[in-house]
Amino acid sequence: MSSMYRYQLPVKETQWKVDSQNDVTFVWEYEDGSDDLLKLYDKGKQQQWDAKERIDWSLDLDPENPMELPDELIRIYGSPMWDKMTAKERSNLRRHSQAWQISQFLHGEQGALMVAARIVETVPDINAKFYAATQVMDEARHVEAYSRLLHDKFEIAYPITPPLASLLEDVLHDRRWDVNYLGMQVLIEGLALAAFHGLRDMSKNPLSASVNAYVMQDEARHVAFGRLALREYYPQLSAPEIAEREDILIEGCWHMRDRSTSSEMWEAVACRWRNAWHGSRPRKACACSAPACSAASCPSSATSACGRPRYRRRLTKWACWISATPIWMWTSCWRRTKKWPRSSMPRPMLRKPFRRRNNAKVV
């Protein structure tokens, strides 16, 4: 099955093209290079592995908790929303949250593949070019492993989150080779290394634990690669140049923080719950590619089927509140207004706006 049919949110394009121009640097000195990078290159050659042979893909994931992670990792764990959820809703939330995380790993690894290929062209050190070539192979193997884990085991996927796409675009737009190192090798790969470490230690499923363990082994070398390359170059920069790179790093940290909110995952889960709630009602056809979406709850359009504006922010904020609302509250809301479409969020907890009477005077 194509990846486009597995995405839980609509994807407008099958490809994403980033306009980037860079200078290709040839190096004619083949003996004078960093010895530490040469040792890292030798280590990278020795630790190559085959994702198809090294990982036992005959193992299955738990349908209730695919990677068998503790529920404490879910943000709403222990809240009134979590306590009111059924066992089926909790298992569905676990599956979607873990699939969203692995999907972002997959897209990030493809971004690292592009940046590593860029470093081969631009870096002025021959030994750095050698190791960057091995990293290209590493990133291709990671894309292969996570793609197979999502398609064959989870059977669902999520598109790249906008903050991560913005960060990758900023890194690829910059023509300076050290900024490519800073954005990918230090920031993205460094945070990914910590995430892989946590999943490897907390996951009780042998398949997901082995995938993250092997990927983590390569990522440790990639982070070391960025630190070794920049350690000798940054002392040569001026104070304004260092300040500019600090600003780039701070902005990248903001992007990574926004990426962790996973707002699109909560929106997709809320869409599924709303469809289950209105499952007995006839729905119109929808052009959205999300498998659980309909014209009345399609997140790709700004208005509902009846033309009324959507409450997308409330949909994300109250993703779990929808399923936990008592039935008497829904019926009382409908009896009071008779005008709420299925696509907009019922507002039983919001008061009507205050209106001043015509004969009232403002003092």
* Segment 140-157 mean pLDDT: 92
pLDDT at res. 35: 81
Q: For all residues of the chain together, what is the average pLDDT? A: 75
pTM: 0.70
The secondary structure of 236-249 as a DSSP string is GS-HHHHHHHHHHH
How close are the terminal C-alpha atoms of the chain, in Å?
68
Bridge partners (DSSP) of residue 7 are 157
Place of tokens 């039983």: 348
Q: Cα–Cα distances in Å, from 142 out to 21, 48, 207, 214, 216?
A: 26, 12, 14, 9, 10
Number of other CB atoms surrounding residue 78 within 10 Å: 11
Q: Is the pLDDT of residue 177 over 50?
A: yes
Q: Which pair of tokens denotes residue 341?
A: 């479409």
The secondary structure of 41-69 as a DSSP string is HHHHHHT---HHHHS-TT----SSSTT--
Range with top average pLDDT, 187-191, 260-264, 355-359: 187-191
Q: Which pair of tokens denotes residue 343?
A: 């696509």
- C-alpha dihedral over 325, 327, 333, 335, to 10 degrees? 170
User: From the centroid of its chain, how far is CA 148?
Assistant: 17
Separation of alpha carbons 88 and 94, rounded Å: 10
Using one digit for the tens of pLDDT, what is the confidence trace for 305-325? 444 344 344 434 444 343 333
* Segment 176-182 mean pLDDT: 89
Those residues with Cβ within 8 angstroms of residue 270's Cβ, 6 or more apart along the chain or in another chain:
315, 316, 318, 319, 320, 322
Using one digit for the tens of pLDDT, what is the confidence trace for 202-232? 989 999 999 999 999 898 899 889 888 888 8
Q: Is the pLDDT of residue 267 over 90?
A: no
Q: Are 99 and 150 in contact (CB under 8 A)?
A: yes
Using one digit for the tens of pLDDT, what is the confidence trace for 5-46? 566 666 666 666 666 667 778 787 777 777 888 888 888 899
Place of tokens 């350690």: 231
Q: Cα–Cα distances in Å, from 105 out to 122, 173, 298?
A: 25, 21, 26
Separation of alpha carbons 255 and 66, rounded Å: 28
Q: Residue 174's pLDDT band (boundaries 50, 70, 90)?
A: confident
pLDDT at res. 304: 41
pLDDT at res. 360: 44
pLDDT at res. 350: 39
The secondary structure of 339-353 as a DSSP string is ---TTSPP-TTSPPP
pLDDT at res. 200: 85
